[in-house]
């Protein structure tokens, strides 16, 4: 696989006011009232978070990154993202909740509706590794506390993913807050999401059902 992390290929969606990019580190200072969320439960639509991505037509790959954060207010967050457009995207992050807990979770947004799956972790955690893997239009997100041992967070399908997909990082503060997020150890590898071994796929009936 020829795909490599290359800062020269990165493109902003909503470039933030304050950031710094080097070959091995990216720092983003979040701005207040920035977020990614569509409709579900809260009924509001937020699509103003800064996203930094590169593109690939590789159908099978994994992207890993270490995040470090000085979050301090509810919904402060930073992590990995596949942002297709305002109504179709996938993100994974640690979201600050209060002085006791944070939400380690993923949000999958398909066709303009977001869902959020999460688990509580201690508020003292200030770094997390994420690994995003693609197998065609299916994606897997994993997390790690040490960058070695990864655990599955989410498997999902992106209905509007094309042959070429963007992927990268994001950071935002949904409420009146601002914090520094740091991204290091960016690495793109062959897909580390193993081929499923077990029940065979169902055979499709003529007509697509």
pLDDT at 164: 97
Backbone angles phi, psi at 94, to 5 degrees: -105, 120
Domain limits, the chain: 7-189
Q: What's the CA gap between 148 and 156, in Å, rounded?
A: 23
pLDDT at 207: 61
Q: What's the CA gap between 160 and 158, in Å, rounded?
A: 6
| Of 16, 35, 6, nearest in space to 114 by CA | 35
| pTM passes above 0.85 | yes
Tell me if residue 10 falls in helix, strand or coil. coil
Beta bridge partners of 168: 53, 81
Per-residue pLDDT tens digits for 65-117: 999 999 999 999 999 999 999 999 999 999 999 999 999 999 999 999 999 99
Q: Which residues of the chain have pLDDT under 50?
A: none
| Of 117, 115, 113, 49, nearest in space to 83 by CA | 49
Q: What's the CA gap between 207 and 185, in Å, rounded?
A: 46
CATH topology of domain 7-189: Jelly Rolls (2.60.120)
């Amino acid at each position: 696989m020829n795909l490599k992390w290359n800062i020269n290929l990165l493109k902003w969606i909503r470039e933030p006011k304050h950031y710094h990019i080097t070959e091995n580190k990216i720092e983003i200072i979040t701005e207040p009232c920035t977020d990614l969320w569509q409709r579900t439960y809260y009924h509001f639509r937020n699509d103003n978070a800064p996203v930094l991505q590169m593109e690939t037509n590789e159908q099978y790959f994994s992207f890993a990154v270490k995040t470090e954060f000085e979050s301090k207010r509810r919904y402060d967050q930073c992590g990995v993202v596949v942002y297709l457009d305002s109504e179709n995207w996938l993100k994974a992050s640690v979201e600050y909740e209060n002085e006791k807990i944070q939400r380690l979770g993923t949000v999958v947004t398909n066709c303009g509706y977001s869902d959020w799956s999460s688990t509580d972790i201690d508020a003292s955690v200030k770094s997390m590794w994420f690994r995003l893997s693609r197998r065609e239009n299916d994606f897997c997100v994993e997390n790690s506390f040490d960058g070695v041992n990864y655990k599955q967070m989410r498997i999902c399908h992106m209905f509007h993913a094309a042959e070429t997909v963007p992927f990268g990082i994001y950071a935002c503060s949904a409420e009146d807050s601002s914090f520094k997020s740091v991204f290091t150890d960016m690495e793109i590898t062959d897909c580390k999401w193993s081929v499923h071994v077990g029940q065979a796929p169902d055979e499709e009936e003529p007509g697509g059902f």
